Every structure is written in structure tokens, then in C-alpha cells.
Amino acid sequence: MKIKKAVIPVAGKGTRFLPASKNTPKEMMPILGVPMIQYVVEEAVRSGIEEIIFITSYGKETIIDYFDRNLELENYLREKNKDGDLKLVSNVGSMVEVVAIRQKEQLGLGHAILCAKTVIGSEPFAVLLGDDIVLGDIPATQQLIDLSLKNNMCSVVGVMNVSDKEVSSYGIVEGVQYLNERTLKMTKMIEKPKSYETASRLATPGRYIFSKEIFDYLEIIPKGSGGEYQLTDAINLMAKNQNVLSYLFEGERYDTGTIENHLVATIEFALKNEHYKKIIQEKIPYWSKKYEI
Ligand code: UTP
């Protein structure tokens, strides 16, 4: 069996990216000219995903349009012999099949994923959150799919190590070692605990594989913290009743959900690219003198 569908919830309000996110989805904010959501969709496609189900809300149409063809622009670029630009534009438009489902009220991440139930049906599926970009030779989602395939298509939660200070910003996974040191059988997931409330430093940055049963749990969870339906509550219920694994995936992960973190990611992405790195290098003597850095 293959995992062919991925759910990417983008219905949130993106308040940490205001004022830019007032009219433009934060997922469309670029890092070096590429919208953040494209990095996430590319990870899914490289992992074998053939269909993306975006959970959207009012004002997010540009995301769906972005992954559609723009034949008028393509014709214009063709006429002007702008082959490089033409390739960029047509590649994005034919990258993957896209389905959009409206989440009419923003009732939380758990509720957003439940909105995909009818489109997913009974297949296992991936979930990727757009706030996190993960770079690596083997895409993070691919690593989780591989583990799920080897374990009866069970649900897998992607985790990464965080510092004591960062624990209170994430869902933290507790579990017992399973198969190898990267893989745990999950016993519990705690939403944003204080660092002394758990010994675990394994955080969930937003990469998951779920079997269809996740929908049964999402349907029965009550509203949780913040008055929202929390995905964490459904995962906890699932882990009580069936095998849920966590996997410490390999890759460089960038949180891009806030203006500060987006800035850091932009600088790092630029430094990874010879062309942009050169521009920064040339500017450093001037900046260090002018701004005393
Ligand atoms: P966040 O909690 O990061 O919220 O949601 P947000 O709206 O994106 O951003 P801030 O905190 O206001 O700045 C995590 C993910 O879940 C989606 C968001 O779009 C984001 O990808 N989400 C959240 C939904 O799709 N629907 C919801 O009701 C809540």
C-alpha cells in the first residue's frame, strides 16, 4: 500500500504574522521568492504524495490558485522567450493534484483535520503543517511513511529534539523505546508543558502519518485548551487504544510561523545559496560598521 494523500491545514488566522497576514495568507509569504507553502508541498511530493488536501478558510484562495496553472502568464513568458521563468511557473502549476476544503469556523487543528474525512476515506494519510519547513536528503514525511509501512500502517508522529527552554512551546511526546533509539511507542503527548512537568525533550513540529481511525477520535474529543478541538487530545486517545509511534526524523527544521523565525530562516536559506551568500558577504563590512554588529 502507498500513502498518496496529504492534508495541509492552512485555515488558521496567522495572527503572529500581522499586519502582512491581514489580506495575504502567511503561507504565501516568501523565503527568497518562494512561498513558504511551496517548500512544504515539495516535501510532500518528494515523499510520493499525489494529492494535497488543503483545509482553507475565507481569504486563502491564493494558495489554491498558486498550485493551479496560469496559462495566460505561461503564454506571455513563452512569447517573450523567458524560458527559465516559464519553467518555474509551469512546474508549480503541475506539481500535484489539489483539493480545497473549507473549514467554516476556526475551531482548532483537530477540527481542521476532521474536515478532510470524506476526501480521505479509509486510506492512511500524511499531515504537514505549513509553519515548519524541513530540509534534508530524505524528506521528513518520507521517513515517517517508511516507518508506518513497516509497522502495519500505524500512525506515526514526527519529533525533533528541543532545549529545556523550548519545551513549553510544543506538543511533547513521551514513550518507550521501540525498534531503535529514534523510534518510540508513544504513551502520551502533552501540549506545551512546563519543562519540569516532563523529562522528554521530543517535540512535534507538525509532521504526521495517520490511519483512518484518527477520525473516530477527532469526532469524540471535547473542546480542549483555548476552546479549540486539539489534535493532541485525539492522538492521546489513539495511543491508549492502538500502536502510535514517534520518530525522530533527520533533517534541518525551520520554524517560519513568526516574523522573527521567518527572518532567521530567510538568512539561513540565503547563506545556503552561493548567489545570495555572496550578496550578504559583500554587505557585511558595510553593515557591521553602520549598525555596529
Ligand atoms: P497555529 O496554532 O499556528 O495558528 O495553527 P495560526 O492561525 O496558523 O497562527 P497564529 O498562531 O495565529 O499566528 C497551526 C496550524 O493549524 C492550522 C493553521 O493554519 C496552522 O497551519 N489551523 C489552526 C487550521 O487550519 N484551523 C484552525 O482552526 C486552527
What CATH number did the domain enclosing 87 receive? 3.90.550.10
The CA radius of gyration of the chain, in Å to the nearest whole number, is 20
Report which protein residue has its CA nearest ligand 1's atom 9. Answer: 14
CA of 107 from ligand 1 middle (Å) equals 10
Element (H, E) at 204: none
Quick check: 209 and 144 in contact, CB under 8 A? yes
Asked if residue 165 lies in contact with residue 126, where contact means CB atoms within 8 angstroms, the answer is: no
25 CB less than 6 Å from ligand 1? Answer: no
Indicate whether 292 belongs to any domain: no
* Strands annotated E in the chain: 5-9, 30-31, 34-35, 51-56, 97-102, 125-128, 132-135, 155-161, 171-178, 180-191, 202-203, 207-210, 244-248, 252-255
32: in domain: yes
* Helices (H) then strands (E): counts for the chain: 11, 14
Work out which ligand 1 atom sits closest to the CA atom of 258: 13
Residue 273 counted as domain residue: no
Pick from 63, 131, 208 the residue to mutate for probing ligand 1's pocket: most ligand atoms within 8 Å of its CB: 131
Judge whether 229 lies within some domain: yes
* Spacing, Cα 14 to ligand 1 middle (Å): 6
Q: Whose Cα sits closest to atom 25 in ligand 1?
A: 11
In this structure, is residue 162 part of a structural domain? Answer: yes
pLDDT reported for residue 117 = 97
Instruction: Give the integer Cα–Cα distance in Å for 159 and 155.
Output: 13
Residue 181 lies in a domain: yes
Does residue 171 lie within any of the structural domains?
yes
> Would strands 30-31 and 34-35 be described as parallel, antiparallel, or unpaired?
antiparallel
Give the span between the Cα atoms of 248 and 140, in whole angstroms: 9
Q: Give this prediction's pTM.
A: 0.95
**Is 13 near ligand 1, meaning CB less than 6 Å away?**
yes
Q: Which residues of the chain have pLDDT under 50?
A: none
Determine the pLDDT at residue 226: 84
Domain that holds residue 58: 5-257
**pLDDT, position 225:** 81
* Domain count within the chain: 1
For residue 178, the model assigns a pLDDT of 85
Q: Is the CB of 124 under 6 A from ligand 1?
A: no
Q: 44: CA distance to ligand 1 center in Å?
A: 19
Instruction: Report pLDDT digits (tens) over 152-179.
Output: 999 999 999 999 999 999 999 999 988 8
Neighbours of 225 (CB within 10 A): 11
Instruction: With respect to residue 271, please indicate whether it lies within any of the assigned structural domains.
Output: no
